[in-house]
Chains A and B, each alone.
Chain A
Amino acid sequence: MMATQKAGSAIMGLFARNRNVITMSNLIAPRHPRTRFRAAVLMPALNEETVIGDHVASILKAVDLPIWLIDDCSTDDTAERAAKAGARVIKLPARLGAWGATQAGIREAASRGLEFVVTMDADGQHNPDDIVTLIKPIINGECDVVIGSSLERGSKARRLAWRMMRLTSGLQIQDLTSGFRVLNHQAISLLAKPRATTLDYQDVGVLLMLKQAGMRMAEVPVVMSPRANGKSRIFSSWLAVAFYMAHTLLLGTLKRSRPWNQK
């Protein structure tokens, strides 16, 4: 246990800036031949040119991880500004939505054999300083998925929505809609599969798939800032909200684990 914790601390030092440890080859699996890195930050982005440059820069300042920005057909300069700030930009030729864009990054991570990925929103809500906190349980082998949970950001309507989602899906996760997560290589392999491509959103469907595959999930409290440009992409209108809720509640009801199937 102490050896694992020491190893975990050493590995954490590698990803945080001002690290003292230079190599980690003795501590974890051999490097995949196609990549210099064993992890990456994935950010799906749509029209975030006003914040993306600063956001990428702040992530690079906080952790020594490559940033893969998956541009979901932005019509502004999001991709250019992200590239200028130091991110690798993967441009989708057609718009797929946040989950489709995220899965593109996950598929790349799977093909490169990454140990883990951090998924973040590109709108500046997620604090890069929390990345190290979220990575720690993954490095220590305590779980397969870590969710950055911010219950304070929830309005009454959002909390009611979360409650309804928990009721229909059977998931016990508090912040069901958080996009701030860390996935280890097992979760990466699972979510890279075609079955995950049938999902439209990254929340209940993805979490149910992870749960039913026996993935260990943990929530870590984080602080999330208000959206920098104020407008949600998914909840752009009440009709969009209604469709999302109907879709998610039905999905949760139909796909929830039956008592006789629970692991």
Chain B
Amino acid sequence: MITLLSSVFGVLVASLLLFLVRRDHLHISHGLGWALAILLCALLGFAPRIFDAMASSLGVSYSPILGVALAIAALVIKALMTDIEMSRMKVRQQRLIQKVALLESELQEMTGRPTIDD
């Protein structure tokens, strides 16, 4: 049952990913990462015994929790990377705003025309 559920989930997410990329809602570079995640989910969905083997080698007594733990770890890393990227974008955006203001001010000094409204 769990295999069926995870397979259906994987197919649904893959379909959503395809839709988002085709409609340009998701940049293809992000799509690559999500595609890899879906492939892994599909692999583990169709072959759950992989977790059993990993769990026993790591000394984890309840193998499904290993999958949950790895998924949470992946999401934390993803969230952190997103925040890092957002920080970079914020700096770029702020400096662009400053630059526009300075250029507009200089242009106004040179031409006497008012600034362009947003």
Question: Which of the residues A90, A93, A111, A194 comes within 8 Å of B95, measured between beta carbons?
Answer: A194
| Bitwise interface map of A from 107 to 123 toward B, beta carbon under 8 Å scored 1, else 0 | 11001000000000000
Cα distance, A94 to B100, chains bound together (Å): 10
CB distance from A24 to the nearest CB of B (A): 24
Contacts of B91 in A (CB 8 A): 194, 197-198
The interface of chain A, by Cβ under 8 A from chain B, is 70, 88-94, 96, 100, 103-104, 107-108, 111, 194, 197-198
CB distance from B97 to the nearest CB of A (A): 5
Cβ of B104 within 8 Å of any chain A Cβ, yes or no, is yes
The interface of chain B, by Cβ under 8 A from chain A, is 87, 91, 94-95, 97-102, 104-105, 109, 115, 118
**Number of interchain pairs (Cβ within 8 Å):** 44
Known: A93-B118, A197-B94. A104 touches B87 (CB 8 A): no
7 A-B pairs with the lowest CB-CB distances in the bound complex, closest first? A104-B98, A90-B105, A92-B101, A197-B91, A94-B97, A108-B102, A90-B101
Contacts of B94 in A (CB 8 A): 96, 100, 197
Q: Name the prevailing secondary structure of the A interface residues.
A: mixed
Q: Counting chain B CB atoms within 10 Å of each CB, which of A70, A94, A103, A107 scores highest?
A: A94
Known A-B contacts: A93-B118, A107-B98, A108-B105. Give 12 more (CB < 8 A). Answer: A90-B101, A91-B104, A91-B105, A92-B98, A93-B100, A94-B97, A103-B98, A104-B97, A104-B98, A108-B102, A111-B102, A197-B95
Q: Counting chain A CB atoms within 10 Å of each CB, which of B87, B94, B98, B100 scores highest?
A: B98
Cα distance, A111 to B91, chains bound together (Å): 19
CB distance from A133 to the nearest CB of B (A): 29
Cα distance, A92 to B104, chains bound together (Å): 9
Contacts of B100 in A (CB 8 A): 93
